[in-house]
C-alpha cells in the first residue's frame, strides 16, 4: 500500500474503515481539566482506552490533514435544551424521557428523530412527528440563542485555524436552527471552510448514513482521502456515520451516555480540553 512521505505502512487491519482503534485517553492531563466527577462510564472509558496498544497508538499517528466537527453536543452545549423540551412534551402524556431514548435521537435529522421519538414513546396516533417538531421547535426558539460553546472548543478551533488546518462543520441541524444557535459565536464559525447542514439538498440521508460527512469532505478545496480526515462527534449516530465514511473519529460523549455506545470511536475523550493534536499528526498546542 503506497504510503505518503514520512508515513509508515499501516497494516491493513488498522485502516479506519476496517476497525476502530481505541487510543489512550489523556490520563496525564491535570485533574482540573477533567470537568465534573468521574462517573463509572468515564472510568470504563479510561479502562477501554488503557487497553490500547503501542501499535494502535502508532497506527493512529497518521498525518491528519483535515478536520470535520459535529455541532450539537460537540461544539455547542445545545443537547440539554433538546432534552428539556422533549421532557416537557412527554410530561403532558405522563411519560418520562431517558438517555436510552436520547441516544437514539442525537445527531439525526429533525424529522427522523421526531419519528423515533413518537414511536418509542408510544405516541403514534396521539401526536404526529410533524406536530411534535412544531411544538419542539417553538419551545427551542427562545432557548437556542443562549447556546454556549463547550469547554476546549475555542482553543482547539483557534489553534487549527492559526495552523491553517482546513476544517468544517457537518451538523444535522437545519439552517434555521443553526442560525439561532450560532448567533453569538460568529467568530468561531467564520474559521470554518464550509458548513453542511441537515437540510442541505446534497445530504440525502441523515446520520448514521455517511452522506453528510462525504458531502463535507467533497467541499474542501482539494480531493481529500477520508482516511486523512478526523471527525469530532458526541453522538452514536454521528460516530457510525464517520466510520462508514472511512474517517477517523474522536468521540466526546455526554457522561450519561451508556459506554456501550463508545465502541466504534477511535478515541474517547471526556472533553475537548483533553485532546492532544500531536497524537494525530496535527500541530501541537504551544501553550
Ligand X SMILES: O=P(O)(O)OC[C@@H](O)CO
Out of 171, 182, 267, 271, name the contact with ligand X by CB under 6 A.
Answer: 171
Three-class SS state of 150: coil
Q: Per CB under 6 A, which of residues 8..67 are in contact with ligand X?
A: none
Out of 16, 24, 73, 206, name the contact with Mg ion by CB under 5 A.
Answer: 73
Task: Outline where the chain has alpha helix (H).
Answer: 40-50, 54-60, 79-91, 99-105, 110-120, 129-143, 153-162, 175-182, 186-190, 211-218, 236-244
Does 266 engage in binding with ligand X (CB under 6 A)?
A: no
Stretch that binds ligand X, among 39-47, 105-113, 118-126, 276-284 (CB under 6 A): 105-113
Nearest residue (CB) to ligand X, 228 versus 233: 233
Q: Which cell goes with 61?
A: 499517528
Q: Per CB under 5 A, which of residues 210..269 are in contact with Mg ion?
A: 234-235
Does 72 engage in binding with Mg ion (CB under 5 A)?
A: yes
Site string for ligand X, 59-78 (x = CB under 6 A): -----------xxxx-----
Q: Does an H or E element contain 72, and which?
A: none
CA-based R_g, the chain, Å: 19
Q: Which of the choices Mg ion, ligand X, none does residue 41 contact, using the CB cut-off of 5 to 8 A by kind?
A: none
Q: Are 226 and 246 in contact (CB under 8 A)?
A: yes
Does 215 engage in binding with ligand X (CB under 6 A)?
A: no
Q: Which cell goes with 148?
A: 454556549
* 274 in catalytic set: no
Sheet of strand 229-233: strand arrangement? 195-196, 167-170, 66-69, 229-233, 248-251, 267-268
Out of 16, 20, 24, 107, name the contact with Mg ion by CB under 5 A.
Answer: 107
Residues that bind Mg ion (CB under 5 A): 70, 72-74, 107, 234-235
Name the residues annotated as catalytic: 70, 72
Amino acid at each position: 500500500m503506497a504510503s505518503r512521505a514520512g508515513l509508515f505502512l499501516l497494516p491493513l487491519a488498522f485502516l479506519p474503515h476496517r476497525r476502530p482503534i481505541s487510543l489512550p485517553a489523556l490520563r496525564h492531563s491535570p485533574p482540573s481539566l477533567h470537568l465534573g466527577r468521574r462517573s463509572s462510564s468515564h472510568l470504563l472509558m479510561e479502562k477501554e482506552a488503557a487497553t490500547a496498544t503501542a501499535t494502535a497508538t502508532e497506527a493512529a499517528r497518521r498525518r491528519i490533514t483535515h478536520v470535520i466537527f459535529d455541532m450539537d453536543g460537540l461544539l455547542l452545549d445545545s443537547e440539554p435544551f433538546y432534552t428539556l423540551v422533549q421532557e416537557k412534551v412527554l410530561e403532558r402524556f405522563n411519560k418520562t424521557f431517558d438517555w436510552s431514548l436520547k441516544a437514539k435521537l442525537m445527531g439525526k435529522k429533525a424529522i427522523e428523530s421526531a419519528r423515533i421519538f413518537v414511536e418509542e414513546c408510544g405516541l403514534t396516533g396521539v401526536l404526529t412527528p410533524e406536530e411534535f417538531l412544531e411544538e419542539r421547535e417553538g419551545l427551542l426558539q427562545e432557548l437556542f440563542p443562549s447556546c454556549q460553546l463547550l469547554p476546549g472548543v475555542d482553543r482547539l478551533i483557534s489553534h487549527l485555524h492559526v495552523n491553517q488546518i482546513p476544517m468544517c462543520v457537518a451538523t444535522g441541524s437545519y439552517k434555521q436552527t443553526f442560525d439561532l444557535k450560532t448567533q453569538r459565536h460568529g467568530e468561531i464559525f467564520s474559521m470554518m471552510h464550509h458548513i453542511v447542514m441537515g437540510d442541505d439538498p446534497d445530504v440525502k440521508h441523515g446520520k448514521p448514513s455517511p452522506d453528510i460527512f462525504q458531502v463535507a469532505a467533497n467541499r474542501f478545496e482539494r480531493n481529500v482521502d477520508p482516511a486523512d480526515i478526523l471527525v469530532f462527534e458526541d453522538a452514536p449516530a454521528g460516530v457510525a456515520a464517520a466510520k462508514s465514511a472511512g474517517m477517523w473519529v474522536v468521540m466526546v460523549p455526554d457522561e450519561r451516555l451508556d459506554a456501550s455506545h463508545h465502541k466504534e470511536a477511535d478515541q474517547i475523550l471526556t472533553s475537548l480540553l483533553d485532546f492532544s493534536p500531536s497524537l494525530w499528526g496535527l500541530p501541537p498546542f504551544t501553550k
